[in-house]
């Protein structure tokens, strides 16, 4: 029985339109604690299964039943749908370039996260077009502690109602310190929350009270996280998140950013 593990993400450092009517761009937050495990079991994949068309676009022959075990809840903004497609391709022998795999994901479902790339946080990604817009700098080492707040919100590929973050993306390209990166991530999250809600989101208050250098959100989804310098997450952080109504508390580092 063949198995694969596909790492997910945990919202975005930045996400929004690149210009008032521009492309939707994002910088993802890689997260080893999300994603999924998948296995290929004996049996025939029904011809009506949408994965048949996806695999065919990659010149892969579908075969067997794919069983998926997500490591995070659906609609949380952790890339489960993209990870499922990547897993299906790898289980059927895909070893080609990530650019082609991600383009196939977008063609199949209309949106994607750059999870097939080795360092996805170093990319400004056009999520509705499935292509890299620009290489971006690596972030300094940091830890993120977070969880899920509010209702799930699956991505709608037709949804382009996001604020303009072109200025933040430009500043991100020239940033070097974790504090500057954190401030830019905060501003992206603020703009999104003002426009899309929820109005009662407590993440910024938690970041301030716990001394975080910034916070991240799933701009579509319920994932929320606080950014701290490496090794400086305060011991009370997890309990503070729980008290504020967060579920699924997790902590991860930026080693793969």
The DSSP secondary structure of 5-65, one letter per residue, reads EEEEEEEEEEEEESSTT--EEEEEEEEEEEEEEEEEESS---TTSHHHHHHHHTT----SE
pLDDT digits (tens, 9 = 90+) for 19-72: 999 999 999 999 999 999 999 988 777 777 889 999 999 999 878 889 999 999
Cβ neighbour number for residue 153 with a 10 Å cutoff: 18
**Residue 6 to residue 79: CA distance in whole angstroms:** 10
Which residue has tokens 């606080």?
A: 226
**Cβ proximity of 222 and 77 under 8 Å:** yes
Show the CA angle centred on residue 98, arms to residues 30 and 170, nearest 5°: 55
- CATH of segment(s) 2-134: 3.30.230.10
- Name the nearest CA neighbour of 11 among 209, 163, 224, 154: 224
Cβ neighbour number for residue 248 with a 10 Å cutoff: 16
pTM, entire model: 0.95
Show the CA angle centred on residue 142, arms to residues 138 and 146, nearest 5°: 120
**Cα distance from N-terminal residue to C-terminal residue, the chain:** 31
Domain ranges of the chain: 2-134, 137-253
pLDDT digits (tens, 9 = 90+) for 201-245: 999 999 999 999 999 999 999 999 999 999 999 999 999 999 999
CATH architecture assigned to 137-253: 2-Layer Sandwich (3.30)
pLDDT digits (tens, 9 = 90+) for 85-126: 999 999 999 999 999 999 999 999 999 999 999 999 999 999
């Amino acid at each position: 029985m063949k198995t694969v593990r596909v790492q997910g993400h945990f919202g975005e450092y930045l996400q929004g339109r690149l210009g008032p009517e521009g492309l939707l761009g994002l910088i993802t937050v890689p997260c080893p604690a999300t994603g999924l495990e998948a296995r290929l079991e004996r049996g025939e994949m029904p011809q009506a299964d949408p994965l048949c068309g996806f695999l065919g676009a990659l010149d892969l022959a579908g075969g067997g039943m794919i069983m998926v075990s997500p490591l995070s809840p659906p609609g949380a903004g952790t890339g489960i749908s993209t990870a499922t497609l990547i897993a299906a391709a790898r289980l059927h022998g895909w070893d080609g370039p990530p650019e082609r795999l991600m383009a196939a994901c977008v063609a199949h479902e209309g949106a994607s996260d750059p999870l097939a790339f080795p360092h996805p946080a170093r990319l400004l990604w056009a999520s509705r077009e499935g292509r890299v817009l620009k290489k971006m700098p690596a972030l300094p080492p940091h830890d993120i502690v977070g969880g899920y707040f509010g209702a799930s919100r699956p991505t709608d590929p037709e949804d382009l109602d996001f604020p303009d973050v072109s200025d933040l993306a430009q500043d991100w390209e020239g940033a070097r310190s974790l504090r500057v990166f954190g401030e830019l991530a905060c501003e992206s999250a603020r703009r999104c929350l003002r426009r899309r809600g929820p109005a009662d989101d407590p993440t910024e208050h938690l970041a301030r009270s716990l001394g975080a250098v910034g916070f991240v959100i799933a701009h579509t989804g319920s994932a929320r996280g606080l950014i701290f310098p490496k090794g400086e997450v305060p011991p009370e952080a997890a309990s503070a998140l729980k008290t504020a109504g967060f579920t699924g508390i997790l902590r991860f580092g930026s080693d793969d950013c």
